[in-house]
Chain A
Amino acid sequence: MKRTRNLFVGAGFLALLAVLGIAQTMLQRTAAVQAQGAAQAPRFEVDPMWPKPLPNGWYLGQTIGVSVDAQDHVWIIHRAASMDAFEAAADEGTGTCCKKTPPVLEFDQAGNLLRHWGGEDGAGYQWPASNHGLTIDHKGNIWIGGNGAANDGHILKFTQDGKFLMQVGIKQAGLGPDSNSQERFYLVAKVSVDAKTNEVYVADGYGNKRVVVIDGDTGKFKRYWGAYGNKPSDEPAPSRYTNGSQPLQQFRGPVHCADISVDNLIYVCDRTSDRLQVFSREGKFQKEIFVAPDSLGDGSTWDVAFSKDAEQKYMYIADGRNQKLRIYDRKSLAELTNFGEGGHYPGQFYSMHSIAVDSKGNLYTTETYQGRRVQKFTYKGLGPVTKKEQGTVWPRRTTN
């Protein structure tokens, strides 16, 4: 009797397992069927309380660069000088908050502030008149650009402790564009570094209209090119790009990013042309896309970053004009979906400027002008695209 009962129980258990198994298979099938119609894309939601409040009464100015190191620490650069007398009231002696903050800041994954440095000239180097862009290379060193008009013709390389390693180019009062110089830049927006060749791709920039490649250790100029791989020219652009007009054969600029992908393609932001151009490492033009081509003003292509999978299947474009983080299929250069909205609440943007991705696929954004913050968007895995415009991506609401 007892034995029979055990048998029954065993049979019931087996049956349950079978049902569960079938259900599982059906679920997978349903998901597969749904996915056939809808493309997959990375999903994100904002972490509203990251990072933690800054210590020392510090406050961020225009935040114009972000990069993630091998420990998944998040490094940003901002412009302390952009804080007005009201924001810096404690420095001015008119109030209890706040104080100007060193420009280079390191946060851990929990959002704690770790190292902080920069802002002054040192032995052998000149700090930029206006900070612009920060990149951590494969050796963990930090590169920064500068776009202080009539001054910044250089880039700087430091260790993570802020020890000076190299300056390429010069800072000099009265400097102007020279897009064919072999010695200096003019108003660099950002660099990216090719770990395989130790070459540095310089988005040069706000003043010059080219991409420059230099050696990562010696700073020696190796090659450079303009739009479509043409020889760059400093001739002013005749007019702003408007939707459907003939694309300019030179970069309009600012040449705002030059990021290298895992398959050795260079993605270049030509911001006020609302376009992204793709090149080989040698500067051979591959293709271009226009992003939200009805955008005027600052333009739509501010920065790019790639997804963390081995082949970098997805590309992210920071569209600081329309306040959208755009997710592209990198191979086809088709936009899959976007998120973000204008505003000062979590997950919203005012002039989203720079973006970076950590090893877990989380995304970090910085905002310039009066946005003045860094935000973290937690990677939630791939999912079918259900909306072209996702709007503000909030975590599930807590009850308050």
Chain B
Amino acid sequence: MKRTLSMAALVFALLAAAGAAAIAQRGGASAPSLSVNPLWPEPLPNHWVLGSVTGVSVDARDHVWVTHRGADSLEGGEKGMMLTPPTSSLCCAAAPFVLQFDADGKLVSNFGGPGQGYQWPQSPGSLVVDAKNNVWITAAGLEPAPASGRGRGGVDTTAAGVAAAARGTVAPTGPADAHVLKFSSDGKFLLQIGTPGKMEGPDSQTTLNRPAAVAVDTGANEVYVADSGNHRIVVFHAETGAYKRHWGAYGEKPTAAGGGAYDPAAPPARQFRDVTCVELAKDGMVYVCDRTSNRIQVFQRDGKFVKEGIISKNTRGTTVTGQFGVLSSYGSVWDIAFSSDAAQQHIFVADGHDKKVLIVQRDTLAEVGSLGDGGRQPGRFLAVGSIATDSRGNLYTGEQHHGKRVQKFVPGARR
């Protein structure tokens, strides 16, 4: 009897120690502890490299889906095999736009690029796999679309350019991004919402403006679109694309002007600035990233405002000119993911400008921890802009700009 008791005590002590190891403390609140798996995913075949990663999503099988900006986001030295003439026969070429990995990091399938009946984005904004295993991709452009509605010009008519376009690794030129695409998991085109080059403002029921992200409510058969350029959330039927409803910050009517420039000292803007994510929690709440405003706003599914949380209030931003154009980096709330526990107790916030993943308690929207810091080594970040969790507590992050990686973080401290 006594022996059994001490065994139980020992087991209890071990469990307590294990629990303690998995908890990182900050300000009395607890946050999950995660560490990078530096050897995920497996190296890509065919001398493929990732460009600026803009979307990461986990499907029902815990497979990880990734989209990136392809050759347009690669420097000359990164895509030597795609240049005319090629500067290398060994390194490198842009990977296809959509990649599916299994949980071990094996590349399972890929697709992407122009096809019949739809226009491939000039710049994929994000990717979501819904509960029916369909793949949604937003066409988010790199820059605000010019008034003419034309996107970036200059079709690459060189042999390598044509060949690359045929391989589906270079974004087509043409009308500016203003649409959402839906594909089956094997890349068959299913639906397009919005029309490239056609932007009719935040009251439009048929057009979008550089949509950044979607979330799918499979039960209601609805798709929520973070319509960044229109400063709104807009909901469509997920099969037909028929308009349902839309709203702006605080559930109010969105305006074309949006929230203006961010000032940490000013009261929160009544309009969204840059809506870069929309996520549906299990309890039916709709979470929205207003990136440049450093905030998360929470709504009911009908658009009724519930609450907001300011994250890293003093983060502002910057615009830099790189080898392949202008890169902007503003705000702390680029994308979010809910923790894998049943209650979704925590929210992981991809804070791209500060180069961290912030961990926020979902009920209070208070920051309770963080993951990583700036750098190019494993577990560090550059512009971490997309984030997803799987069913087993693993976390996946995608990095934009020159980060160009998808990283996997596993529960617990690094052994």
Contacts and interface: CB of A to CB of B under 8 A. Distances in A.
Interface in B362-410: 373-380, 382-383, 401-405, 408, 410
Nearest to A52: B377
Contact of A398 (B37, B47, B78, B405): B37
A373 B329 CA distance: 22
Given A94-B318, A343-B44, A48 B39 contact: yes
Contacts of B63: none
A329 interface: no
Interface in A318-356: 321-324, 341-348, 350-351
Interface stretch (B243-251, B267-275, B352-360): B352-360
A321 B410 CA distance: 34
B320 A86 contact: yes
A49 interface: yes
Interface residues of B, number: 57
B316 interface: yes
A323 to B, nearest CB: 5
A400 B355 contact: no
Nearest to B401: A86
B87 A344 contact: no
Given A87-B374, A341-B91, A92 B318 contact: yes
B76 interface: yes
Given A97-B356, A342-B92, A369 B77 contact: yes
A97 B44 contact: no
Contact of B410 (A97, A347, A400): A400
State the majority secondary structure of interface residues on B: loop
Contact of A96 (B78, B354, B377): B354
B80 A321 contact: yes
B43 A369 contact: no
A54 interface: yes
Nearest to A47: B38
A202 B37 CA distance: 42
B353 A89 contact: yes
B90 interface: yes
Interface residues of A, number: 53
A343 B92 contact: yes
Contacts of A98: 355, 373-375
Pick the most buried of A86, A93, A392: most chain B CB atoms within 10 A of its CB.
A86
B91 A322 contact: yes
Contacts, number: 162
Contacts of A370: 75, 78, 402
B87 A49 contact: no
B327 interface: yes
B91 A84 contact: no
A87 B90 CA distance: 30
A86 to B, nearest CB: 5
Contacts of B91: 321-324, 341-342
B262 to A, nearest CB: 10
Interface stretch (A146-154, A218-226, A294-302): A294-302
Given A86-B318, A86-B320, A92-B318, A373 B353 contact: no
A323 B404 CA distance: 16
A264 B44 CA distance: 41
Contacts of A51: 377
Contacts of B87: 295-298, 321
Contacts of A381: none
A95 interface: yes
A391 B379 CA distance: 22
A103 interface: no
Nearest to A340: B91
Interface of A: 48-49, 51, 53-54, 57, 59-60, 84-87, 89, 92-98, 292, 294-298, 321-324, 341-348, 350-351, 369-373, 389, 391-392, 394-395, 397-398, 400
Given A59-B375, A346-B39, 9 more contacts: A54-B375, A89-B354, A96-B315, A98-B355, A297-B87, A342-B47, A344-B49, A370-B78, A395-B39
28 contacts: A48-B378, A49-B38, A49-B377, A53-B380, A60-B375, A84-B318, A85-B320, A86-B353, A87-B374, A92-B318, A97-B356, A97-B374, A294-B88, A296-B86, A297-B76, A297-B87, A322-B89, A322-B90, A323-B90, A324-B91, A341-B43, A343-B49, A345-B38, A345-B378, A345-B405, A346-B38, A392-B43, A394-B39
